[in-house]
Amino acid sequence: MGRIETAIMKDWEFTLLEPQDPYFQPVQLPHDWAIYAPINTNMKQGAAQGFRDRWGIGWYRKKLMIPAVTEGHVYQLQFEGVYENSTVWVNGVEVGGHKYGYSRFTLDITGVIHEGENLILVKVDNTSFPADRWYSGAGIYRTVKLLELHRNHLKPEEIQVKYAVQGSSASVSIATGTFSLVKAVISDGDIRLTGESENGVIHLEIPDVKRWSPDQPYLYQVELSLYEGNEIVDTYSLRVGVREIEMVPDKGMFINGIPVKIKGLCIHQDASCLGIAVTSEIWRDRLVKFKEIGCNAIRTAHHIFAPEILDICDEIGLLVYEEPFDKWVGGLYRRYFETEWQYDLECMVKRDRNHVCIFMWGVGNEVENQGQESMLQILRMLKSHLLTLDDTRPVSYAMNPHFKYESNADLSKVKDIQQFVDEVSDTEIYNLEHRIERIKRIADIVDVISCNYQEQWYPAIHEAIPDKLILGTETYQYFRGHPDQMQNFSEDVPWMDVEKHDYVIGGMLWTGIDYLGESMGYPAKGWAGSLFWTNSERKPLSYLYESYWSEKPMVYMAVLDYSLTDEGVKEHWDAPRYASHWSFPQFNKTVIPYMIATNCEEATVELNGKLIHVKKPFEFPNRMITGYLPYLPGTVVVKGLIGGQEVCRYTLKTAAPAVKLEFDAEEISVDRKDVVHKLFTVRAKDAEGIPVFRESAKVTFQVSGPAEIAGVDNGDLCSSEPYDRSWMHLYHGQVSTVLRFTGEAGRVVLTAEAEGMYAARMIICME
C-alpha cells in the first residue's frame, strides 16, 4: 500500500474565546478570522494590518475519525501554513507547532491517535507585536492533511531532481533521500522511461527532450515507488520541467538559449474578501489574467507562498522569484531569526526546489543595516546554507534604495522597521560613489544584483560591477527617479530601462494586484498602486504594460478623470487618474487629456466619425500616445494599425442611465472537483449595453443550489462596507461576489439585483 494523503478541511470549529464547548462555532478551512474582524482606526499597527482588529488568540478543533490504526504505519498531521505561533494537541497530548506563519510543518501523531474519534485542538496566538507590515491575516489559512505512511516511506523534502541538457537529450538524476530501492517512471503521454536507484540516486536519459519555458511550459510526470523486498510500500508523484537558464554578463538572461526579459509583478498572498484564506482556483484566475497582459514572472513577496501557487506557475508558464522572509533581525522576524532562520529557509528550498518555475532564490528584502558588515555576515551565511540545499539557481537579495553610514542603533527598540530603513536621517548616504561602494559589497556575495527602485542608478552600478546582471525586484509602475534623488515624478516609465540595457534582465512592478494592509492612511485599507484592483478588474496602466509585454496586437484608450475619488496610493507608486469611459455630463466641449496604449505601429482616433491625427507610438518617450479631445457626447473609436491596415480597435461610448445589471456570462460549466471558490462580476449597463462607469447603486446577490456567498468586493480599498455580506455598492460600475461551492453536482443560480434596474442572472452548472 502506498501513502494515503487526506485533506481535512471540513467540519472544524473555531472560537476567539476560551476553548470550551459553548463558544465553538463551525468553520471550514482555509479560514482567516481577521478578514471579518471589525474596522478599528485606533488599533495597534492598524495601517499595516488594514485596520482590521486581528489581535487575539484563536482556537480550532476537529473531531477526526480514523477507521483503523495499522501497526507499522506512521501517521502525520501536515499544516501548510498557520498564522501564527501555533500549538497543536491531539487527544490532549501536545504534539508540536510552529512559530513563523508561512512555513509548512509536519507533526508525528502516531503514538497519540487511536481507532475511532480523535480530537485535534490548535491554538493560534496572534498577540505578539509587531505583526507583518502588510495584512497577514490570522488562523489556519492553508491546507491541512492527514498522512498515513508505511514506516519505511519517501520524504518529499529530501527528493531532488536535477538535469543537464546535452543537445536534444537531457540527463536526469533524482536523489531519492533513501538508500532503499526506488524505481522511477517519467512520462508525458509520448514517452515512458523507467529507472531504479543506485546509492540513493536514479539516473535517466530523456531523448528528444521537450524544454519548459514561459511560452511553452512543458512538464513531465515523475512517479517514484519505494520497495521493501518485492513489495511497493510507498509512492510519490511530482511534475518536473527541463530548462536551461544562463546568466551572461553584459548580455542578459537566456532560457534554453533564447534571451528573455523578466516581465514581472510582485504579489502578496491575500485576495480581498477571502483575506489570506485563498484557494488555488482564485489564484489560478489571477495568474492567468497576469499572463494575458504578457507577464511572465512573479515575485512572491516577502515570504513562502502556498505550494499550489507554484504548481500553477509550473503549469501555465510563470517564472518565480521566491524568498522566505522580509527583514532579518528587525520587524516581525526578529523574534524568530536566531532560532528559526535555518528551518524556514530549508522549508522553502526543500519544499520548492523541484518546481521548474523558480528561476532565482531571494534570501531577504530591504533589511536593516544594508551593506554594513553585520548585514553582510548574515547574507553570506544565508546564501552559503542555501547552496547546500540547491546549487542550481542564482541566489540574490532585494536591496532597498536607502543606504546609511554605520550607526549603533538598537534594532530591538525600533517599532517601525520599514520607517527606520527608509527614513532620511543624518546617516543617509547621498554620495553616489559611496552608495555604489555599498552595493558592490552586496554584489560580491549575490549572483544577480536585485534592486528595488534604483533604475536611475543602473548605468553607474553596471559600470562599477560589470560582471553581474541587474534585476529590478521592485519598480514603480509609471514614475522614475533622478540620478540625484530617489523620486522625481518624471514620466520615464521604469520599464524603459529594462528595454534599454542588455545587462538588466527585467523588472517586477510593485505590485501586480492591490492588497490589504500597508495602507497610507485611513480610509484606505490597503495598497492600491497596482495594475489590478483586488477583485481582479484591470486598471488603465495594465494596458500600457500589455503594450510593452505582449506581442498580440492591442490598442486601448483612457481619459484623465480627476473627479474620481482618491484611492490612497503612495505618491511615487501612483499613476495619473486615467479611466476608460466617455461620460462627462459636467462638461460642454471641454478638452480632456487622453492616453492610448498600443503595440501597433500606429493608431488613429475618431470622435463621432471625425478623424483626429495623432503621432506614432515611437515618437513618445514611453510609447504611450497622449493628446486632447473636446468632450462631445457620442463615440470614440481608436484603431491599431500595422502596415497601414487595421488589426485591432477599442471603442468608448457615452453611457445613458443604467437600466440593467449583467454578468460577464449567462451560463458556465464548472468541474465541481476542481473548484471551491470562484469570483463573479456584475456590471451596470444602459439600454444599449454600454457600461455605466459612474453608477454606484447598491447590489444584492442571491444564490441557490450547492453554493453559498463567501464574500463581496468591488475593488475599492477606501470603502468600509464589510466583505462578509451579500451586498455591496458598485464601484466604477461593477461589483463582484465570491461563491463557495459545496462539492456537490447540481445547478447553481446566481442573481444580482439593484433598485431601478433589471436583475442579472447567471447559471453555473456543477458537473
Residue 72, domain CATH: 2.60.120.260
Q: Confirm whether 289 is domain-assigned.
A: no
pTM: 0.96
Are residues 379 and 505 both part of a single domain? yes
In a domain, 231, yes or no: yes
Q: Which strands sit side by side in the sheet containing 610-612, from one edge to the other?
A: 610-612, 602-607, 635-642, 645-653
Structural domain contains residue 529:
no
User: Contacts by 127-130 with C-beta closer than 8 Å and gap 24+?
Assistant: 127/55, 127/56, 127/57, 128/84, 128/85, 128/335, 129/44, 129/45, 130/45, 130/48, 130/331, 130/332, 130/415, 130/416, 130/417
User: How high is the pLDDT of residue 249?
Assistant: 96
Give whole-number Cα distances, 713 to 28, 315, 735, 737, in Å.
20, 28, 6, 6
**Shortest CA distance to 692 belongs to which of 663, 728, 655?**
655
In a domain, 541, yes or no: no
- ∠447-362-483 over CA atoms, to 5°? 70
Q: What is the pLDDT of residues 560-581, one digit of tens each?
A: 999 999 999 999 999 999 999 9
Instruction: Check: CB of residue 226 under 8 Å from CB of residue 152.
Output: yes
440 plus 556 within the same structural domain:
no
Q: Does 392 reside within a domain?
A: yes
Q: DSSP labels for 351-375?
A: HHTT-TTEEEEEEEES-TTTTSHHH
Does residue 51 register a pLDDT over 90? yes
Choose one of 586, 618, 653: the last residue of a domain: 653
Residue 479 belongs to a domain: yes
Q: Write the CATH number for 642.
A: 2.60.40.10
Q: Do residues 425 and 448 both lie within one domain?
A: yes
CB 212 within 8 A of CB 241: yes
> Pick from 8, 43, 193: which is nearest to 126 by CA?
43
Residues 568 and 500 in one domain: no
Please check whether residues 387 and 473 belong to one and the same domain: yes
504 and 363 housed in the same domain: yes
Beta strands in 468-536 (DSSP E): 470-475, 480-482, 485-490, 504-509, 515-516, 526-527
Q: Which of 601, 627, 653 is the last residue of a domain?
A: 653
pLDDT value for 672: 87
Residue 600 DSSP class: S
pLDDT at 334 over 70: yes
561 and 421 within one domain: no
Cβ atoms < 10 Å from Cβ of 166: 10
Q: What is the dihedral of CA 750, 753, 759, 762, to 10 degrees?
A: -10
Give the distance from CA 752 to its chain's centroid: 29
User: In angstroms, how far is CA 568 from the centroid of its own chain?
Assistant: 21
382, pLDDT greater than 90 = yes
Share of the chain above pLDDT 90, in %: 93
What's the number of domains the chain is made of? 5
Mean per-residue pLDDT over the chain, rounded: 95
Q: Is residue 742 part of a domain?
A: yes
The mean pLDDT of 716-744, rounded to a whole number, is: 96
Torsion of CA 9, 14, 16, 20, to 10 degrees: -140
Res. 422: pLDDT tops 70:
no
The answer to whether 421 touches 402, Cβ cutoff 8 Å, is: yes
CATH number for position 464: 3.20.20.80
Burial of 466 (0-12, 13-18, 19+ CB in 10 A): exposed
Residues 582 and 635 in one domain: yes
CB 606 within 8 A of CB 612: yes
Expressed as residue numbers, the domain containing 403 is: 254-283+321-519
Are 473 and 326 part of one and the same domain? yes
- pLDDT of 428: 87
Per-residue pLDDT for 425 more than 80? no
pLDDT at 414: 66
**Same domain? 173 vs 271:** no
pLDDT computed for residue 484 by the predictor = 87
Rounded percentage of the chain residues whose pLDDT exceeds 70 = 97
Q: What's the whole-number mean pLDDT along residues 200-225? A: 97
pLDDT at 485: 83
Residues 613 and 564 both lie in one domain = yes
- Encode pLDDT of 272-325 as tens digits: 999 999 999 999 999 999 999 999 999 999 999 999 999 999 999 999 999 999
- Domain assignment present for residue 165? The answer is yes
pLDDT of residue 406: 82
pLDDT at 418: 72
Residue ending a domain, among 141, 169, 194, is: 141
Same domain, 167 and 55: no
